[in-house]
A and B are shown apart, each in its own frame.
Chain A
């Protein structure tokens, strides 16, 4: 309905957007099917600890109890752990796959909540105007100035590191940009003739809002949602990185944090989640930019 044929053609021509979309689809498939195929990310095996990824090798000095000497052994990556293991022998691939699920869950659910609230507040504010508009926009300003990361830390501190609270906290504070965008769009839409025409045919206010105004802002909403997902994923990673993530879940931020101490020796523990985080954020941004270029009527 909103993304029409000529939009699809336009996105197809935008190489980074296509790559981004493919990466995101791949990430989705991995997150959904991956955990059934990989090892248990929480399985600890000290025999296999600090294994490098396939194709890499490190020299490791190990204390041999029998000979009472320090032996230098070369350890090579094996296909058993294609991306290596961390200092407790946990499989990196399994952890990253499990982290993808966490990141996408947080990214999509929190953004979904934020977009719903933002669209509602924006459209109501612009459509009814007057004191309601003023009140809602000042409320938006207040939420906007609130240091959201501090709130997150506070919530985790008060209620414990639970993923549901993290999602709710990000969703309930992250809607301000969407609200302002939707409001500005609806402000110009509501003066258009089709709104008056619909009123003249007896349409009610909720009907006009849901059937006429919201579908017309949909393209902007899709773009802002796509562009705000990476921010949310990064926020969750940052939270896990400083140790406030859900301890029951393996997330990219947590793995990254675990790897940062041994960056010189077992560099892959930090680099791998960092790379995947970087690529995910980049993919969403590319796709978001591509969607904006394709859906923006002014660029036609």
Chain B
């Protein structure tokens, strides 16, 4: 009995996902052997630098990886069904309906020649088959729910009449229009200034308990504010995963330590630390641990063997040879 309940609590279960891009220069492992669970009602943050495979992970879940990329292996279980193997038609019914996504750049994510109202109602018409009056009422409700004043009039305006923060809120309203079970947010606040960012984050916080959020970002400040659990991603691989508070307070992986060290904090005076080097070329990955060329604690074994996942506590695990032997 207890076991089935526990399984039901997991909305999205990704296992050993590999998404490769087959370019002329060679194979790029954008997502390399990634597994995680998204529980009902939680906010799970994936943190990583640019090019670490965060967006590729998100697009893989939605089945939107375009050529020359492809999901090579692994499974993506959504409420028990493997959506990586679903047909395009069935997948389309899921997108925007059960799983939806908010993109980084709201200004280019809205079609400049269509009215806001027409764009919000798109997925309502597509998935819920509502009539004109109902969709309009629902659209007004949605705009109001993301804090846009005078939603009735705003519906007939064009994207260029909206500010950046409002556009992003419209995008969130669109993504939420069909009450999805999973919302994937790909750096939704990166293009916004800090005050607007806080307002948008509030919308995500209020979502808790109704929609599970997979929040992709490179901003640890945002993470500390909203995340329940976090995953640290680097060069297509997970380096550390666990409860947000625990990982941020007590980072184990040298990369996570570096990231946390990069954050300015009020307590410690002195220079901000930065991580030496840059993310490796994904075509030509180093052998062994992907982080070892930049790692301050690299050992002999790091250059030869890829570290396996080691549990620190029941809510915290890391992939690093420093903790493997114990």
Contact = CB atoms under 8 A, between A and B. Distances in A.
A49 interface: no
A281 to B, nearest CB: 30
B123 interface: yes
A200 B101 CA distance: 6
Contacts of A212: 111, 114
A194 B108 contact: yes
Nearest to A200: B101
Contacts of A194: 108-111
Nearest to A201: B96
Given A202-B95, A203-B126, A197 B114 contact: no
Contacts of B112: 216
Interface in B99-136: 100-101, 103-105, 108-114, 122-123, 126-127
B108 A204 contact: no
A199 interface: yes
A173 to B, nearest CB: 30
A297 to B, nearest CB: 9
A26 to B, nearest CB: 31
B171 interface: yes
A192 interface: yes
A218 B111 CA distance: 13
Residue from B62, B93, B97, B111 with most neighbouring chain A CB atoms (10 Å) = B111
Contacts, number: 71
A2 interface: yes
A200 B123 CA distance: 10
Interface in A190-234: 192-194, 196-204, 207, 211-212, 215-216, 218
B94 A202 contact: yes
Contacts of B110: 194, 197
Contacts of A2: 113
B64 interface: yes
B135 to A, nearest CB: 14
B92 A202 contact: yes
Q: How large is the interface on A (under 10, 10 to 19, 20 to 34, 35 or more residues)?
A: 20 to 34
A198 B101 CA distance: 10
A200 B109 CA distance: 11
Nearest to B105: A193
A212 B109 CA distance: 11
A33 to B, nearest CB: 35
Contacts of B96: 200-203
B40 to A, nearest CB: 21
A96 to B, nearest CB: 40
Contacts of B227: none
A201 B100 contact: yes
Nearest to B99: A200
Interface string B257-291: 00000000000000000000000000000000000
A158 interface: no
A193 B108 CA distance: 5
B62 A200 contact: yes
A198 B123 CA distance: 9
A193 B55 CA distance: 13
Contacts of A203: 92, 96, 122-123, 126
B64 A196 contact: yes
B122 A198 contact: yes
A1 interface: yes
B84 interface: no
B105 A204 contact: no
Contacts of B114: 211-212, 215
A198 B122 CA distance: 9
Given A202-B123, A203-B123, A203-B126, 16 more contacts: A1-B113, A193-B103, A194-B108, A196-B109, A197-B101, A197-B174, A200-B62, A200-B101, A201-B174, A202-B92, A202-B95, A202-B96, A202-B127, A203-B96, A211-B114, A215-B111
Interface of B: 62, 64, 92-97, 100-101, 103-105, 108-114, 122-123, 126-127, 171, 174-175
Q: Which 9 A-B pairs have the closest CB atoms?
A: A201-B96, A202-B96, A202-B95, A200-B101, A197-B109, A193-B108, A193-B109, A201-B123, A215-B113
26 contacts: A1-B113, A193-B103, A194-B110, A196-B64, A197-B103, A197-B109, A197-B174, A198-B111, A200-B62, A200-B64, A200-B96, A200-B100, A200-B103, A201-B174, A202-B96, A202-B97, A202-B126, A203-B122, A203-B126, A207-B122, A211-B111, A211-B114, A212-B111, A215-B111, A215-B113, A216-B113
